[in-house]
Amino acid sequence: MKRGEAMARRHCAPVVACVFLLAAAAAAATVVYTAFPPVSLNPCTYSLPRALLAVSGVDPYIVSCGGDDALTASPLPDGKNNIGGPIVTNIRTCSKPKLPPNPLPPFYCCPPMSASEPINFTLPDPAEPLRVRRPVHAVGAEHMAKYERAIALMKALPPSDPRSFYQQANIHCAYCTGSYHQNGNPELDVQIHFSWFFYPFHRAYIYFFERIAAKLLDEPGFALPFWSWDVPEGMQLPPEFANASSPLYDPVRNPRHAPPKVVDLEFVREQGENNLTADQQIQQNLRVMYKQMIGNAALPTLFHGQPFRAGEADQPGAGTVEMFPHNTVHTWTGDMAQPNVENMGVYYSAGRDPTFYPHHNNIDRLWVAWRDIGASRGYRGHVDFTDPDWLDSSFLFYDEEARLVRVTVRDMLDIEKLRYRFEGVGTPWVDARPPTTTDVNSKKGLLMKSVRFPVSLDDVAVTAEVRRPRVSRSRREKEVEEEVLVVEGIETDGAERVKFDVYVNAMDHEKVEPGGREMAESFVCLSHPRMDGTGKGMAIKTSMRVALNQLLEDLGADGDETVTVTLVPRHGQVKIGGLRIVYMVE
Ligand SMILES: *[C@@H]1O[C@H](CO)[C@@H](O)[C@H](O)[C@H]1NC(C)=O
Ligand SMILES: *[C@@H]1O[C@H](CO)[C@@H](O)[C@H](O)[C@H]1NC(C)=O
Ligand SMILES: *[C@@H]1O[C@H](CO)[C@@H](O)[C@H](O)[C@H]1NC(C)=O
């Protein structure tokens, strides 16, 4: 069943940390959904009880809508049953979110309806001053006071105003919980995580958020600060956000992670605190950054995520940085005492914490850094997609004048044209190439029974030798093609969370030091309760990919005919269909 597959996939992820609870089944949610929303649902006709609407603040706009007549009078621009092609967001498809069990209110997140059709995005005037975005830890108290005032001003706007903090927070909810449906494919969701939309969507979100802040502050050049958790000086929650009398404070956070606690970029809810010293943690974080930005991110799909086109199930696969540290920083910040690690640790509520915006500003900066590193080091794969289905996909935002604007991915690719840049922090992790550990694969070739796939990964690690179709490729060949390990046919019954680590050339994986190079990737999958109330899980079938070019060079194993792959179970039960090496070009 198509829907089942889509739901299953969204709970699974080929690297650490989809602990960030993805639009979970709404079985126990207050707003119960047992079937698909009717096609005609839109922000105007949606029939939540009035009391709930009043709570959620959507009410004022309900009356300004045209209702069903307006809907039939202006059919969706894209016609029916779109297969392939760009994903085009239509505000009229917005309806109830699919929330996880026991969510915190409000329970509705569509934007107010616009009285007019969306206008197309236009670039800002090139004469506009360039906004210089600086790190929170170095931008200075005066500038942070401005960000604080901007948040206070947004919070003071009525919830019906699309520029209010309430509505800004809801943007994230609407695009991440299946509130929007695909034009012409009403049974399919628009979702901007776990696919190639992760960076451009969030860039546009932050772009308008920054301009709204500037407008409210009456300071045209105002630039949003970023939380640079990837450099040692920024690796804690900025203290300004921990001041309980500041508008930047959010009580729904993990109290154990208040500053000066060093952030754990591999934080996983099930594993809890790793108890590293601050220095060890910083070093491990830098290695994580290196792996996710360079070693494992050699191709557009590996960095950005998998293509997602009209007519396809959402969340085909996340890029490296989205999985971690993006997801892990979300989870690390959220409150584990809440049912879904609210606010930051779950999609629907993440935007309610004022740290969300500086966090995503840093993600935006890392996109720029990834391209810059590619250009300066000659990494040919560090380039954006040129696929028109990506470039022409579009999302809707309200701008600083409260006009509804249609933004395409194409509009968001050049930050100079968007009139901002990043300054004030380096990328020290480019030098944090993880160390290798000696003598962890000395048993290679000995006492190895041949592994017969599929195997069940329960509590014992499984090691297999995987044959490489080609060895010692030339530098030129490696520039053109990435060698990729595919872990195929990953199956779980969905009843519990699953995590396993993938080690390369490390049969003695326990000896690999934290952040060590042999620990190539992790797979993490959420439990996925079935909607039928039986307490059983929904079966999950997926795969993951691990980039090998640089890894094998680091391990001095580029001439080997086989790669030793050790799958180490950490949590839950999972079946593995097979291991295979392929060469990818993009
Ligand atoms: C907006 O952009 C679309 C896609 O490029 C185009 O078809 C449409 O005519 C534009 N609308 C206006 C009002 O310019
Ligand atoms: C906390 O925030 C309040 C309100 O902005 C401010 O007056 C106070 O000085 C801040 N306290 C500290 C320790 O920064
Ligand atoms: C960290 O310390 C806590 C409390 O002492 C302990 O429960 C936990 O197991 C430790 N974590 C690890 C990864 O050792």
Residue 423: name the closest of 152, 143, 214 by CA.
Answer: 143
Q: What is the largest CA-CA distance in the chain?
A: 74
User: Is a pLDDT exceeding 90 seen at residue 170?
Assistant: yes
What is the average pLDDT value for the chain, to the nearest integer? 84
Q: What is the pLDDT of residues 72-89, one digit of tens each?
A: 223 344 445 578 999 999
pLDDT(57) > 60? no
pTM for this entry: 0.85
* SS3 state at 169: helix
DSSP class of 292? I
Is the pLDDT score of 441 beyond 50?
yes
| Ligand 2 site residues, Cβ closer than 6 angstroms | 148, 243, 245-246
What is the DSSP annotation of 313-375? Answer: -S---B-HHIIIIIHHHHHHHS-TTSTT-TTTTBHHHHTTSTTHHHHHHHHHHHHHHHHHHHH
Please give the average per-residue pLDDT across 220-242, as a whole number. 98
Question: pLDDT-derived band of residue 5, with 50, 70 and 90 as boundaries?
Answer: very low
413-416 contact pairs (CB < 8 A, 24+): 413/200, 413/384, 415/368, 416/130
Where residue 527 falls among pLDDT bands split at 50, 70, 90? low
Question: Atom 4 (ligand 2): residue with closest C-alpha?
Answer: 246
* Residue 550 pLDDT: 92
Name the closest ligand to CA 267.
Answer: 3
Q: Tell me the pLDDT band of 534, cut-offs 50, 70 and 90.
A: low
For residue 240, give the ligand 2 atom closest to its CA.
14
pLDDT in tens, 251-260: 999 999 999 9
Q: How many CB atoms lie within 10 A of CB 260?
A: 10
For the chain, the distance separating the N- and C-terminal CA atoms, rounded to the nearest angstrom, is: 31
- 143 CA to middle of ligand 2, Å? 14
Residue-wise pLDDT for 471-510, tens only, equals 999 998 988 899 999 999 988 876 677 789 999 999 999 9
- List, as one string, the DSSP characters of 478-540: HHH-EEEEEEEEEEE-SSS-EEEEEEES-SSGGGSPTT-TTEEEEEEE---B-TTSSSPBPPE
What residue ranges define each of the domains in the chain, with the CATH number in brackets? 16-431 (1.10.1280.10), 455-584 (2.60.120)
Q: What is the pLDDT of residue 58?
A: 29
Tokens describing residue 255: 């109290």
**Mean predicted confidence (pLDDT) in 555-568:** 95
The set of protein residues with a Cβ atom below 6 angstroms from ligand 3 is 273-275
- pLDDT > 70 fraction of the chain, expressed in percent and rounded: 82
> pLDDT for 446-461, tens place per residue?
655 678 999 999 889 9
Best residue among 147, 151, 246 to mutate for probing ligand 2, ranked by most atoms within 8 Å of CB: 246
Alpha-carbon distance of 338 to 342, in angstroms, equals: 6
pLDDT at 21 over 90: no
Residue with tokens 């680091």: 554
